[in-house]
Amino acid sequence: MKFYNRENELKVLSESERLSHKHSCMTFIVGRRRVGKTRLIKEAYKDKNLLYLFVSKKSESLLCDEYTRLISEKLGKKVIGKLSNFKEVFEYILSLGESEQINVAIDEFQEIYNINPSIFSDIQNLWDTYKYKSKINIIFSGSIYSLMSKIFENSKEPLYGRADKKIVLGGFDVQTLKSIYRDFSKEFNPFDFIAFYAITGGIPKYVELLCNETTLKFDSMLDYIFSEGSFFLSEGKDILVDEFGKDYHIYFSILSLISESKTSRSEMESILGKSIGGYLEKLEKDFQIIKRRLPVFSKPNTKNIKYYVNDNFLRFWFAFIYKNITALEIKNYEYVKDYVKKNFSVFLGQILEKYFKEKLAISGKYSYIGSYWDRKSENEIDIVALNELEKKALIAEVKINEEKINTNLLKKKSEILFNYLKGYEIEYRNFSMDEV
């Protein structure tokens, strides 16, 4: 698949390379697995000489042997003696940068925590020594949010404040995903496209697999996902177990409930029979897998909070794969596909709302985009978008089937917001599959 989008990220990496011709520059990239961090780095420096080092789960000495060979091959530098530890490798690279500019990428950098955590202090000392006399453009890339955030953004850690630039890499935006869909599909079908968006969330690896292996029709995508040897079936567990560690069962239970629209803390705690405040905080702040939603115009200390899984694929995985793990273990794929088809419209309603919010955000017309619901979650308004500068408000209803939209009811429900929208020009909109 060709390389799509990422113009902003490429610009950051290009600027890092430019700055490194004056003095060393450090950038760190964080993004969940399969999001295309490695592809981005290699695309950014495809016309440059790049020393790419991957931190695999090996001993420090074996990794250093591998890195020594790569330094020799990629940079044409014969290493005299043996580089037996990370400190020696890192110092050798920085010393080479005293005489020439070098681009270096260290992928899955957070894995060093499991090999030799003391290296972070060594890197700090070496970086402080060489930064302004060396010309190294170094990119540290990692897929575990909690560890990468700790390494570079925790004030108690050695590398805090050392990075010059940061990239948080997410999935393709809805415009890019639509372009990809049109490139690989014979015709644009709104339902199939939203299903494609709902399943992949724009994550490049999933997008590439479905584009290369299916017709991008809903049934075709399900046939591929729910089949013998499918990459997707274990994917949720594969990418999250390392993040969550020994408590992953608790986190999985919470994510499963949120994916089933059990979105309030009290509702989840009543089902699980335990307090989950600490787990929700980690899921939101450390792992960045869920987000909290407050009703528009609510006070910051309100308890009227809902949570949602921000990653479309993980939402799909917990709602349909994890939910049916027993049937999948006995390879009853037809049963699970029937379950998905029966329940997909409810799932898609939530996804469609997220899609239109992303689309409105890309338009650049609004300073705030959210929703409204009362304490009983009865009087709900799907989208409330504000342009606070121009005093304009958009209030919208989202339905899969346009025939179910009731504009008069929407206007009636919106009256509760009028006290907050004094002086605003209000526009009412209906969003459905026809608007995709």
Kindly report which listed range (23-37, 184-198, 403-417) carries the lowest average pLDDT score.
Answer: 403-417
**What pLDDT digit, counting tens, does each position of 354-403 carry?**
999 999 999 999 999 999 998 877 789 999 999 999 999 999 999 998 87
What is the count of structural domains for the chain? 2
Q: For the residues 254-271, what does the mean pLDDT come to? A: 94
Count CA atoms closer than 13 A to 80's CA, side-chain side: 1
Range of the structural domain that residue 141 is part of? 7-168
Question: Beta partners for 26?
Answer: 138
Question: What φ, ψ does residue 393 adopt, rounded to 5°?
Answer: -130, 140
Q: For the residues 10-31, what does the mean pLDDT come to? A: 97
Q: Does the structure show a pLDDT above 90 at 82?
A: no
Question: Beta partners for 423?
Answer: none
In a domain, 150, yes or no: yes
Q: Which of 168, 190, 209 is the last residue of a domain?
A: 168
In a domain, 352, yes or no: no
For the sheet with 368-372, list strands across it.
368-372, 381-387, 392-398, 425-431
Q: For the residues 242-259, what does the mean pLDDT come to? A: 92
**What pLDDT digit, counting tens, does each position of 38-73 carry?**
999 999 999 999 999 999 989 999 999 999 999 999
What is the model's pLDDT at position 80?
A: 79
What is the model's pLDDT at position 310?
A: 93
In a domain, 232, yes or no: no
Give me the chain's average pLDDT, please. Answer: 94
In a domain, 29, yes or no: yes
Query: Nearest CA to 215 among 230, 241, 195?
Result: 195
Whole-number Å distance between alpha carbons of 350 and 95:
53
Do 31 and 144 touch, CB atoms closer than 8 A? no
Q: Which of 141, 168, 195 is the last residue of a domain?
A: 168
In a domain, 410, yes or no: yes
Query: Nearest CA to 88 among 61, 50, 113, 112?
Result: 61
**What pLDDT digit, counting tens, does each position of 95-137 carry?**
999 999 999 999 999 999 999 999 999 999 999 999 999 999 9
- In CATH, what number is assigned to the domain containing residue 79? 3.40.50.300
In a domain, 98, yes or no: yes
Per-residue pLDDT band for 347 (boundaries 50, 70, 90) equals: very high
Whole-number Å distance between alpha carbons of 369 and 120:
40
- In CATH, what number is assigned to the domain containing residue 400? 3.40.1350.10
Q: Does the structure show a pLDDT above 90 at 200?
A: yes
In a domain, 184, yes or no: no
In a domain, 24, yes or no: yes
Q: Which of 110, 137, 168 is the last residue of a domain?
A: 168
